[in-house]
Chain A
Amino acid sequence: MKHHKTIFVVLISILLGFSSMAVAKEGNWKKGRIYYKMVCSECHLEKAGGKISPSEKTKAEWLDYFEKNIHGPQDAPTKYTASYFVSKEYRESIKNTNRAAKKMLKVPEDQLLEDVKAFLVHTAKDSDQPSRCE
């Protein structure tokens, strides 16, 4: 019986590992769209030089952006990477003024990053549905 329990625990651990990997791997573009529109765009419209539409870049350019993980501007603090702006630290810092950031406070960082990436790729310039979402 003890042997069976050990096998079961090992199997479950593997399953949990795989499932969390799978969840982080496949972004949900609809959730990414909410974050992009209600957090990214809101800041860009008000403070960071205007809107950036997903259709301004191709799929490859967006993937390259996330690969390089540089957000800018050039004189910005080094921590201002693409991943920083989906981090819990960032969401925590704006939760009092941004309802979407507050609502998504508990979403794992890597998952949210994949969601946003999925949205931008899904609606990129060379996608089937280019979006000029503000």
Chain B
Amino acid sequence: MKIPGSTIFHICRISLLFVLLSGSAYATTTADHTKFKQLQVHFNSGPDVTRTCIKCHTEAAKQIHKTKHWTWEFLNPQNKQRLGKKNIVNNFCITPKSNFDHCATCHVGYGWRDDTFDFSSEVNVDCLVCHDTTGDYLKSGDNAGHPKSTVDLAYIAQNVGKTSRDTCGACHFYGGGGNGVKHGDMDDSLAVPDRDLDVHMDAVGPDFTCSTCHKSIEHDVAGSRYMPDAKHTDDYHVHRRDYDEENNAHCRACHGNKPHKKADKSRLNHHANKIACQTCHIPEMSRGGIPTRMTWDWSTAGQLNEDGEPIERKVDGNLVYSSKRGTITYAENINPEYIWFNGKVRYQLLTEKVRYNDDGYVLVNEFEGSPYDGESRIWPVKVFRGVQPYDPVNQTLVVPHTTGSDKASYWKNFDWQKAVAAGMKSAGLPFSGEVDFVKTQMSWLINHMVTPGEGAVGCNECHSKNGRLKDIDGIYIPGRDADKTLDAYGWLIASMTLVGVILHGIGRIISYYWSKRK
């Protein structure tokens, strides 16, 4: 059979189109950055790359300047606390203050070493850390957010694209100083999760990226740990984030207020008014095979070996003791704790005197909530407990200068007085000269690693004595709150009613036949 030349010609044209569309890794974009002459040069530094980026993306750096990712600052409009990574302390690595050389590895910028950093500089914005698609862009560990010298910046710049779980995860999976350390619901198992680990991010299913939920406008990403949307009452909001709406990264934005559509599950919708979706759909923390840290005792740091050298001990590959950090414990596949939460969070600031809870812990952050305020739902949280340095005279938490190789650095000299003195001086805060240790507690909302319905928390895990919600007060939970005496009275009344009804019926029957006989 002879195939007409025109047919072959058309087949070839279609094939060419197919190759152009499918062969390119960036077929979904309108600009192939590998073709830009401006990017086919040698770049000496990260700012060099940004200088080129902003020639076309003229507003990008200015937009970044307004975001938390850049300022590491957030003014909570509810209680006027000035928060953000730059201002708060935690009980993991404590604070980036006076440690920016190291901690700025996770800043979307270049060169933040101290207070002299120029926050108005556009070329200091790091475009590549969020837009790299190669996986080869790495920041140096102790160089104020600059890339490693081995990174081929031109190659990275020519291969930029949309953000991904990998780019966000480069920092957010590793918060607190390592994989899965901080959050309990985020680690690098989410880079390629299966359906059981996260029904939305399932790599061979919906394959959500972080930005699918955390939508951004002008580079400002939705979602805040400082002011979470704990009880969103409006219904669907998917693909519509208004400027005046603080946070659209929550379940109800897509699932609405009656998320269970099947008839036999509709009963569960009644729970939605009092229980966050996460409470049932995130049954355990750290389900991806990577344990999260549960406690961190800085007071045991500083032990050296016989030669005066720092030591490290690991169990199953996890650091359980280090001279630099102290003693650490881990857990995985563990139930979260549960609290009433209305979205309001208050932090223990460095300028405030420490406040203790009934168990003697200083609450680094306090989650407000009550069964009676009409605004709270029951939420799962990771509660992280630590022992960290504080000033016993001024009664404040302190800034230790831990990182770096200078004489004041704790990791160099293992001297808390020197490290805290340097840290507090750098932060411009008063320090008495004395250091002691205090027990601290910090809570983290659990939002990720969402299991599909079949893996969710079962009814009897809460509706039972000593169930998951055994410590939640202010709500009657059938199965949990049964009282034997009350139950006995109930059964007695019901039994007596039944007996009364039967006796009444018998009486009516007898009287019927009696009257008939007459």
Contacts and interface: CB of A to CB of B under 8 A. Distances in A.
Contacts of B488: none
B9 A5 contact: yes
A104 B9 CA distance: 31
Contacts of A25: none
Give the interface size bracket for A toward B: 20 to 34
| SS class, residues of chain A in contact with chain B | helix
Contacts of A104: 204
6 contacts: A8-B9, A19-B19, A30-B135, A34-B192, A38-B192, A99-B194
Contacts of A132: 317
Contacts of B138: 128-129
A99 B195 contact: yes
B23 interface: yes
A29 B5 CA distance: 40
A134 interface: yes
A12 interface: yes
Contacts of B194: 38, 99-100
Contacts, number: 57
A134 B204 contact: no
A12 B12 contact: yes
B8 interface: yes
Contacts of A38: 192, 194, 203-204
4 A-B pairs closest in CB distance: A12-B12, A103-B204, A37-B192, A100-B204
A30 to B, nearest CB: 7
Contact of B204 (A5, A9, A34): A34
Contacts of A47: none
Interface string A109-131: 00000000000001000001100
Nearest to B170: A129
B191 A19 contact: no
A16 interface: yes
Interface string A88-102: 000000000001100
B203 A29 contact: no
Interface string B308-332: 0000000001000000000000000
A29 B135 contact: yes
Nearest to A28: B25
Nearest to A42: B194
B15 A16 contact: yes
A68 interface: no
A23 B18 CA distance: 13
Interface in B288-323: 289, 317
Contact of A122 (B25, B135, B150, B317): B135
A30 B6 CA distance: 40
B16 interface: yes
Interface string A24-54: 0000111001100110000000000000000
Interface in B107-160: 135-136, 138, 148, 150
Interface in B458-472: none
Nearest to A132: B317
B192 A12 contact: no
Given A34-B204, A37-B192, A5 B5 contact: yes
A9 B12 contact: yes
